Amino acid sequence: MTPITTRSTCPYCGVGCGVLIESEGSQITGVRGDPQHPANFGKLCTKGQTLHLTTTPAITRQARLLHPMQRVQRGAPAQAIAWDAALDLAADRFASTIEEHGPDAVGFYISGQLLTEDYYAFNKLAKGLIGTNNIDTNSRLCMSSAVAGYKLTLGADAPPACYDDVNHAQCLFIVGSNAAFAHPVLFRRIEEAKRNNPDMKVIVADPRRTDTAGLADLYLPLQPGSDVMLFHGLLHIMLWEGWTDNAYIAAHTTGFEALKSLVREHTPERVAQVCGLTRDDLFTAARWFAQSPATLSLYCQGLNQSSSGTAKNATLINLHLATAQIGKPGAGPFSLTGQPNAMGGREVGGLANLLSAHRDMANPQHRAEVAALWGVPSVPEKPGLSAVELFEAAADGQVKVLWIACTNPAQSMPDQATVRRALQRAEFVVVQEAFATAATCDFADLLLPATSWGEKDGTVTNSERRISRVRPAVPAPGQARHDWRTAVDLAQRLEVRLRPGQPTLFPYPDAESLWLEHRESTRGRDLDITGLSYAMLQQQGPQQWPLRAGDAQGKPRLYEDGVFPTPDGKARFAALPFVPLAEPRESRYPFSLITGRLRDQWHGMTRTGSLGRLFGHVAEPCVQLHPQDMERRGLREGDLVQVTSKRGSILLPAQASDEVGLSQAFIAMHWGAEYLSGQSNTGEPLAGVNALTTSAYCPGSKQPELKHAAVKVLKAELP
């Protein structure tokens, strides 16, 4: 059989590395980094290098969902059902629920791992056809605070920088990001830039001394949740020392006076005390940030997954605006997306409060534009339920039917007990999934098999606004179908029931036809891609947006002219106060639980958990504690401990680590039911760290505070 090479994109993280897939017949035999892809120039991390091993026939047989399955009774084994019968059943249940209870009685929970075309089809289905904005995504857990922060300050959800800026920066401010584990290929670029430019200063602010902090010239071990206090404190010092750029502030921004008055009280002494830092380090950080010729901030979940997520993002952007560290090579606030297509989801308005092409649901003109594009009378005005709200509403019986695609909320959502209650109480749950091993599958009335990496066709957008093609190298296994295809099949069946006799709104024979409609939706918008086509992506490779009709290529960086997409063209300072953690440590729960990624695992391990070699780095779950905390509690390495929050408790071994500070406990987010057990505070069995986490969320972005919960750690009493 002749080996074939197919150019595609890694499905794991927001770096968006290009891959070359080797295949023979229906089997993927190898994977290499694509030397021509500008995100990685041929490099891959351990997860990317082993992608082909997750597609072997043995793993596909064991782990993949290969046929539609129906569970006639909850708790009973699922039985095979034909595709047509499954889709008819789903359409009947959706239509009858909508007719009886209204469109807001149904909800969709989708994923930043879906392709842009999948995302577009699901959003049109929910917001256009059904008439509900109850469609949210696991990207809510990943980057909705970054969206809110950019819109509030810069006027649009558009990261202004690009990866190449790492090579031009003289100061890198990495905050709330363990890029060494979460964005490894980008981190290698940072390491190389530092090697090539020893004068470059790297500041890392993180409660944990991560591998990323190992690269820092200045490490700021700030207390969990104190980021806004830090950013206000740095601005206070910059003002005090005359390090702000007053000409830039006057010409290109508004709102600085209000912010100045807010930060007046944030003296270095007060900030040092709240953040747990030294006054000298604050001055050094402020000086390097403000006085460097080019300062680039890189940030991720430490800022986003917070009950102050919007404020953390916006007050960091304040620093860039106050010092004119934006709109030039090597400078800008650059949020990193966790998932491979969180950015593509943002482009199609894939959140419960957004509409296509960065339009706002609250804006009547935007709603009318989208309704006209979709050929529907209107798009509902009321914002839909965000991820946490959607599952809370299902647990309360308000949302009666749930459709979950390409995500595993039973493991990944905070406050696992509530999510499981929601899945049990919902009258009908459809799970569209590639992997039968996902915990959420246990709650499905209907399981629909989806295609996965190496089989899918469409596009994704990475952290630097670069759109790449995802191409199929092998046919779908079993009866698995593309996610967009299943969304369109459901939509066409629902049309027959909800708007009989009218022409279909979903006339899509392939992924490209969906993408072309998405492209049209961007015309005249900040992310305009009317100059882009699948053919251009084929001939010229991945491209950044915006790329307007007539442009030869996209824009690597934004706001170089100092004009922002706001009504007056000026960026807006955000005078937002510091607000403490939703659940601070207290005497009964004296530890800060911090969650995060491991280097070699991905999300709930449905894909990476099948490979022994990815357990070489970290073999089993543990809770990391500071050696002094271990000693004070009489704990030895490997002792089993009970980690307990107000919501539940899990059992796992303790490990002494200098990476965590005093009164901190770190648990990786990946481990599920196969690896550790636990229970809710009412005694139901639970698994994973989200048995403990809180669903408190940021009022601006509705992103939950997955990064922090108050816990106690006690030596387990074994029978």
Which residues bind to ligand SF4, rule: CB under 6 A?
10, 12-13, 15-17, 40, 44-45, 47-48, 183-185
Distance from C-alpha of 464 to C-alpha of 468, rounded to nearest angstrom: 11
**CB 340, min distance to ligand SF4, A:** 7
Cβ distance to ligand SF4 smaller for residue 146 or 294: 146
Beta bridge partners of 685: 679
- For residue 355, what is the enclosing H or E element? strand 354-355
* Smallest separation, CB 47 to ligand SF4 (Å): 4
Identity of residue 622: C
Residue among 318 and 606 whose Cβ is closer to ligand SF4: 606
DSSP states of 621-651: --EEE-HHHHHHTT--TT-EEEEE-SSEEEE
Question: Could you tell me the smallest distance in angstroms from the CB atom of residue 600 to ligand SF4?
Answer: 10
Q: What single letter denotes the amino acid at residue 613?
A: R
Q: Which is nearer to ligand SF4, 13 or 91 (CB)?
A: 13
Q: How near is the Cβ of 351 to ligand SF4 at its closest, in Å? A: 23
3-state SS, 364-379, equals HHHHHHHHHHHCCCCC
Nearer to ligand SF4 among residue 50 and residue 521 (C-beta): 50
For residue 435, the 8-state DSSP code is B
- For residue 327, which of 436, 414, 253 has the smallest C-alpha distance? 253
Cβ nearer to ligand SF4, comparing 33 with 449: 33
Query: Using CA atoms, how far apart are residues 409 and 110, in angstroms rounded to an integer?
Result: 10
CB of 418 to ligand SF4, least distance (A): 30
H or E stretch covering 309: helix 309-322
CB of 112 to ligand SF4, least distance (A): 13
CB 478 within 8 A of CB 449: yes
374 vs 453 by CB, closer to ligand SF4: 453
Q: How far is the CB of 349 from ligand SF4 (least distance, A)?
A: 24
Shortest reach from residue 51's CB to ligand SF4, in Å? 8
- Tokens 């593509």 sit on residue: 344
* Residue of minimal Cβ distance to ligand SF4: 48
Least distance in angstroms from the C-beta of 50 to ligand SF4: 10
* Among the listed residues 437, 426, 360, 356, the one whose alpha carbon sits nearest the alpha carbon of residue 393: 426
Give the nearer residue to ligand SF4 in terms of CB position, either 16 or 380.
16
User: Residue 32 or 279: which CB sits closer to ligand SF4?
Assistant: 32
Q: Strand pairing partners for 709?
A: 593
By C-beta, is 463 or 521 nearer to ligand SF4? 463
Nearest-approach distance from CB 412 to ligand SF4, in angstroms = 17
CA 610 to chain CA mean position, Å: 23
Burial class (CB in 10 A: 0-12, 13-18, 19+), 613: exposed
CB closer to ligand SF4, 44 vs 385: 44
Q: Which of 218, 242, 221 is nearest to 230 (CA)?
A: 221
CA angle 341, 346, 349 (to 5 degrees): 130
Contacting residues for 136 by C-beta, under 8 A, at least 6 apart: 107, 108, 109, 110, 351, 352, 384, 385, 386, 387, 390
Which of left, alpha, beta for 43 (phi over 0: left; psi -120 to 50: alpha)? beta
